[in-house]
Chain A
Amino acid sequence: MRAPSLRDRSHRAGASFATLAFAWIAPLAISALCLSCRYDPVPQEIIDDLGPETGSPSAQHRPGQPCLACHSAYAGAKPAMAFGGTVYTTDAAGGLGPAAGVEISIIDWAGVPKKVCSNLAGNFYLEKADWKDPAFPLVVKAGSSPMTSLIGRDGSCGSCHKPADPDGPAVHDPVSGANFDSAGKIVVDVSDTSKCGAGQ
């Protein structure tokens, strides 16, 4: 059997280098491709429109915003949420302030009941780990106020209970900000506050 020549060895070394490079580059390329595939313009636009964080992320941050825009499989913010929103009540000056200690009860279409309390910012949420697959539509009650409509598919209260579009028709409910395409902020009676939880 012939001993490998210098040229053969050089060729093999080149091939090994190419194999090694391919072994590194291919997974990197695939990862980059997968990351770019993750981009979804619809949720991304919602996230971008929320603006920057004003404090540090906590259970009390970003009241009134659609929680699941970020606390979702797409954006990956922790904890992943199944449901979340913010409740308000009228303050002494007649304005709106956070409603703490309000019990929010939710029943899904399979009859599974869930309860959660609002914190000091008025925020409330249920983690995905505690409610993996709610059966929509949901029936919701905030304090003593039942929601007039069902929730069809969105666990973010803030998606529908949103501030009025400044470019849209005039606001028709000066308290909640409800408009033709917005249910306005969730406003509960002041007697519904401090009924549950200590709030965080």
Chain B
Amino acid sequence: MSEQRRPSARRSPIAIALLLGASALLVVVGVAGCRDDLNGRVTNACPSQTVFESSVSPYMERRCGTLDCHGGIARPMRLFGRLGLRHPDEDNIPGGKATTKVELGANYASVCGVEPEKMNDTVANLGNTADELLMIRKARGVEKHKGGKVVDEADHADNCMLGWLRGDQPATVEAECAAAIAALQ
């Protein structure tokens, strides 16, 4: 009885090398995916919290943080404040007591967390890429925004947010934000 050799059983050295290479790649990818870094932390920079809380947040609370917009409990970039959503851990109601420290801190985390890596880049390049951030693009109406166009380029409100992102002098940011708030009253 003669043995018949199947043609498919033949492997060229190149095919074997490719197979081994692909296997090695899979193993590397698999090992990388299993790295024990689930508890790892990445720290991204965000512009001054002090300036945000004293100047920028009051504007954003009034213009963006109404209960039907970013003051909605389910909304991205959620904002708390006296005129809208109140922090559920505190005993306040909309229109009641002034915005609290807890709420200001939550607003800062919320705004910084929209695009943390891009925000980090913005801080690193002193605001040169600030106008690429969603918070600016949406406010300007460059990016689709359910709330429509909120600011015009270089108006007080735009300068308020951009000044903070660029790290402008606190007094300059404060003046721009105050003018932006005045326009809403």
Chain A contact residues, CB within 8 Å of chain B: 136-137, 148-154, 159-160, 168-169, 172-173, 178-184
Contacts and interface: CB of A to CB of B under 8 A. Distances in A.
Given A168-B88, A181-B72, 4 more contacts: A148-B83, A180-B92, A181-B86, A183-B67
A9 to B, nearest CB: 54
A136 B92 CA distance: 27
Contacts of A153: 68-69, 146-148
Contact of A180 (B66, B68, B88, B148): B88
B137 interface: no
Contacts of B69: 152-153
A169 B148 CA distance: 32
Contacts of A152: 64, 66, 68-69, 147
Interface string B76-97: 0000000111111011111110
B15 interface: no
A136 B145 CA distance: 13
Interface of B: 62-64, 66-69, 72-73, 83-88, 90-96, 146-148, 184
Centre residue among B62, B67, B96, B147 by max chain A CB count within 10 A: B67
The secondary-structure label for the interface of chain A is loop
Lowest 10 A-B CB distances belong to which pairs? A152-B69, A154-B68, A160-B67, A149-B83, A152-B66, A178-B93, A180-B86, A148-B95, A183-B94, A172-B93
Nearest to A160: B67
Contacts of B147: 136, 152-153
A175 to B, nearest CB: 11
B88 A169 contact: yes
A149 B93 contact: no
A49 B64 CA distance: 27
A75 B119 CA distance: 40
Given A137-B63, A150-B63, A154-B68, A178 B94 contact: yes
Contacts of A169: 88, 91
